[in-house]
Amino acid sequence: MYATSLGDGAELRPLETWHAGELLANIDRGREFIGRHIGLPDVVPDLESARAYLRSYADKRAADAGSLHGVWLEGRLAGGLLFRVWDTAAGVCEAGCWLEPAAAGRGLVTRGMRTLLDWAFDERRMHRAEWHVASANEPSINVARRLGMTREGVLREHYLYRGVRTDTEIWSVLAPEWRQARARAVRDGH
């Protein structure tokens, strides 16, 4: 399988069913931190649920309906990047992420998502990539900004999370915008 360097001792690799133990350890290291805004820690409380979660993404990949990629830092799983939704016919995907606290603030999500969005737009010919994020999740909103996404709106009290209604922001980038930004970065030497 592939391993793409993200720099600083980090790699982007497939996250597969046989990584269940590593996934559980990753979630356990960051359970409270990760769970502030997303429900993954609630979905993965033990090894069998970690296997089931990874199996669900293996099934999505097989059906061309989503995918899951691990971010390894110094050889240890530190988080994940995913296409939660992948609709080839419509040309629309929804990306997402999580990281344990020790990996946060290093630009790993931004670098990894750039790799995945290049693939989505260039190889798979997607037209639109979305990023759904809780309004209180400032680090994730900052990733959307760094990726050149546009904030399209807020679904007010849209998501019931741990008994609290939370707002969900919708951010997106279109293939032509992505290509223009990449061309500008190359032209400007970034």
Q: Is 61 helix (H, G, I), strand (E, B) or coil?
A: helix
Q: How confident is the model at residue 34, as a pLDDT?
A: 96
Q: Is 145 helix (H, G, I), strand (E, B) or coil?
A: helix
The arithmetic mean of pLDDT across residues 54-70, rounded, is 97
Report the C-alpha gap between 133 and 146 in whole angstroms. Answer: 14
- Distance between start and end Cα atoms, the chain: 28
Query: Taking a C-beta distance cutoff of 8 angstroms, is the pair 96, 72 a contact?
Result: no
The arithmetic mean of pLDDT across residues 78-102, rounded, is 97
Phi-psi region of 11 (alpha: psi -120 to 50; beta: other; left: phi over 0): beta
Residues in the chain: 190
The two three-digit tokens of residue 166, written as one number = 């939370």
Nearest to 129 by CA among 90, 99, 185, 71: 90
Report the C-alpha gap between 107 and 15 in whole angstroms. Answer: 19
Domains identified in the chain and CATH numbers: 4-187 (3.40.630.30)
Task: Write out pLDDT tens, residues 158-168.
Answer: 999 999 999 99
Q: Is 74 helix (H, G, I), strand (E, B) or coil?
A: coil
As a whole number of Å, the CA-based R_g of the chain is 16
Q: How confident is the model at residue 121, as a pLDDT?
A: 97
- What is the sign of the dihedral through the CA atoms of 49, 51, 57 and 58? negative
Q: How confident is the model at residue 21, as a pLDDT?
A: 98
pLDDT at 188 exceeding the cut of 90: no
